[in-house]
Amino acid sequence: MNKLLSLAVGIGLAAQVFTVHANASKIADTQTQVIQTPKGAKVEVFINGTGTPIVLLPSRGRGAEDFDPLVPFLQQKGYQVIRPEPRGIGKSQGPTENITLHDLADDINQVIQQVAKKPVIIAGHAFGNWVARMTAVDHPDAVRGVVIIAAAAKSYPEAMPELVEKVRHATDQSVPEAQRLAALQFGFFAKGHDARSWLSGSYGNVAKSQRAAGKATPQSEWWSGGHAPLLEVQGELDPFKPESTRQEMKKEFGSRISTVVIANASHALVPEQPQALANALDNWIKTLKP
């Protein structure tokens, strides 16, 4: 992501008000566990189903509930779906200043060790894929494969001032709701998909902390995802991943990475096409070594 877009996202997210954590999952059979890490952090974890474990990490400033539409489809396919809440949301606690992606990856490793108790597939949406890849770098024995969902291009095009403005409006809760909804529709949801689900669920303080942690960690430290197999899932209409950049990761990682483009989806992707996303994950996971 380039400096202009990163600045706009940071300004917008920092302007959010903190959203009260009422119920992080509306799925009836959700089990909840709070784990303690050796470094003193606490992580609230939501668990659904049994079978092959898959850990889902949300995008910047958002929580585990973003994956609610996806969870039932993964359960039907025989997966144990594990969703840690980021620090600062719900019962997840820990330092939020002067931290790096390494600290956030340590949290996720403890979730893997204490909840899954075996190597997992780890999938991160947008910023969540940074943490997923950092986890695979720092804790390679804990990760079978990394799924990169709706990642922005590595070097984002500079000349998109309208998108920068829309990002700011979408994430600033001082902006009238109708304007925020229009901005979400423009930058995050494909035409015909209801963007209202993202009018709430944003945590400004968390986003600010995560952005700082990302800036404090050189991209070179997490970008590789270690040596784990990679799957990149792109939204066909994602403005953060222009068509001209669609093959950039394939060119860099070669046969180590598989790429799936989901039709009629934008940057939000998860609430837009949960069944198609579940199918993509399932098809790829079946190709991995046990």
Q: How far apart, in whole angstroms, are the C-alpha atoms of residue 146 and residue 205?
A: 27
**Domain annotation covers residue 92:** yes
DSSP state of 256: G
Contact by Cβ (8 Å): 163, 171: no
Contact 50, 79 (CB under 8 A): no
Q: pLDDT (tens digit, 9 = 90+) per residue, 89-105?
A: 999 999 999 999 999 99
Position 82 scores a pLDDT of 98
How far is residue 1's CA from residue 155's CA, in Å, rounded to a whole number?
A: 6
Count of domains forming the chain: 1
Under 8 Å between Cβ of 141 and 113:
no
Instruction: List the single range of 12-21, 75-84, 88-97 with lowest mean pLDDT.
Output: 12-21
Q: Which amino acid is present at 227?
A: H
- Statement: residue 34 has pLDDT above 70: yes
Lowest mean pLDDT among 74-83, 98-107, 168-177, 267-276: 168-177
Is residue 6, in this structure, part of any structural domain at all?
no
**Which pLDDT score is estimated for 160?**
67
pLDDT in tens, 215-266: 999 999 999 999 999 999 999 999 989 899 999 999 999 999 999 999 999 9
The CA distance from 221 to 9, in Å, is: 22
pLDDT digits (tens, 9 = 90+) for 193-216: 999 989 988 888 898 899 999 999
Report which residue type is found at 234. Answer: Q
Q: Quick one: what percent of the chain has pLDDT higher than 90? A: 73
The pLDDT value recorded for residue 172 is 72
Q: Which of 8-17, 19-28, 123-132 has the lowest mean pLDDT?
A: 8-17
Give tens-digit pLDDT for 179-190. 889 889 988 999
Q: What is the mean pLDDT of residues 266-274?
A: 97
DSSP lists the bridge partners of residue 48 as 81
| CATH number assigned to the domain comprising residue 130 | 3.40.50.1820
Q: Domain of residue 276: give its range.
A: 31-156+203-287
In a domain, 276, yes or no: yes
The mean of the pLDDT values for the chain is 89
pLDDT at 24: 57
Question: Would you say 49 and 76 are in contact if contact means Cβ atoms under 8 Å apart?
Answer: no
Distance, in Å, from the CA atom of 108 to the CA atom of 103, rounded to the nearest integer, reads 9
Mean pLDDT of 47-54: 96
Residue 176 identity: P
